[in-house]
Each structure stands twice: as structure tokens, then as C-alpha cells.
Amino acid sequence: MRRDRPLLVVAGLLRDEAGRVLLARRPPGKARAGLWEFPGGKVRPGESPEEALRRELREELALEVQVLAEVGRLRHDYPEISIELVLYEARPLGTPRALENQELGWFLPEKISGLPLCPADRRLWEAVLSVISHP
């Protein structure tokens, strides 16, 4: 079910001290199961995108973050839904733990292009590369 007005979704670009990027693999039973994505989720009514990102990462990863700059945004139409995906660089303030049956992985940037990414996340990868190459 696609909509004229896309669903606002936020995601975090989180890097560790070694420069690796945190990705989450969508669990079985969810749309796009098995594909990797930047962690995040839907923005609730009355919530700012930054608040939503902090809440989602707390709920999904038991992780507090400092939200930094917006890295990129795009609209993407999946067969069942249209989303506006906003990616923020965020500093992890602790160690993430998978709380929703998802696999987590820290990947070197040069390895990410070869991973099966969700289509919207793949489209944002160019913006991510510009941030990573100019810290």
C-alpha cells in the first residue's frame, strides 16, 4: 500500500573508533528480511527526527547516541510503502546490543558496497561515502 505522502523514517550512521560502520540485518518475517540497513525506524507524530532516532536506537539496540549532522535524505518507493529516509551521523555512547532479533555487524566502509543492502540504504551510500572520506 503506497501513499502520496511518504512515511518519515530515520536512520543512524554510527562508526566505531576503527572507522567501521554499524549495520543491522532485517530479521525473518519482516519486509526485506536478510538485507542490511542503517539502524533506525519510523518517526512518531509530534516527534522530531532526532528524537525518533535516539528513541529507536534505545529501543532496538539499548544504545544512547549523540545525533550529529544530517548526512542525506531521499524518497524511496517500495512495493508496499513509500518512505522518506533521513540519515544522520550519530556518535554511539556505549555498545549496541540487538534487542529485536536482528543481527548486527560492524563493517569497514570498503566492505559495505558488496553487502546486500535495503534498496533505500544503498541509494544513500554515496552520501555516506562523502562523510566517511572527509571526517
Spell out the domains of the chain, with CATH numbers in brackets.
Answer: 7-133 (3.90.79.10)
Q: At 85, which helix (H) or strand (E)?
A: strand 82-92
- What would the pLDDT profile of 58-87 be if each residue is shown by its tens digit? 999 999 999 999 999 999 999 999 999 999
Give me the mean pLDDT over the 34-41 stretch.
96
- Distance between CA atoms of 41 and 55, rounded to whole angstroms? 9
- Distance between CA atoms of 85 and 57, rounded to whole angstroms? 15
Asked whether residue 41 carries a pLDDT value surpassing 50, the answer given is: yes
3-state secondary structure of 83: strand
Top pLDDT among 135 and 96 is at 96
- Distance between CA atoms of 60 and 125, rounded to whole angstroms? 22
- C-alpha 54 chain-centroid distance: 12
Residue type at position 71: V
Q: How many CB atoms lie within 10 A of CB 108?
A: 10
- What would the pLDDT profile of 92-121 be if each residue is shown by its tens digit? 999 999 998 889 999 999 999 899 999 999
User: Do 50 and 88 contact (CB within 8 A), yes or no?
Assistant: yes
Full-model pTM: 0.90
Question: How confident is the prediction for the chain on average, in pLDDT?
Answer: 91
- Distance between CA atoms of 41 and 16, rounded to whole angstroms? 21
| pLDDT band at residue 47 using 50, 70 and 90 as cut-offs | very high
* Bridge partner residues of 73 (DSSP): 86
Q: How many CB atoms lie within 10 A of CB 74?
A: 15
Which cell numbers in the block locate residue 133? 572520506
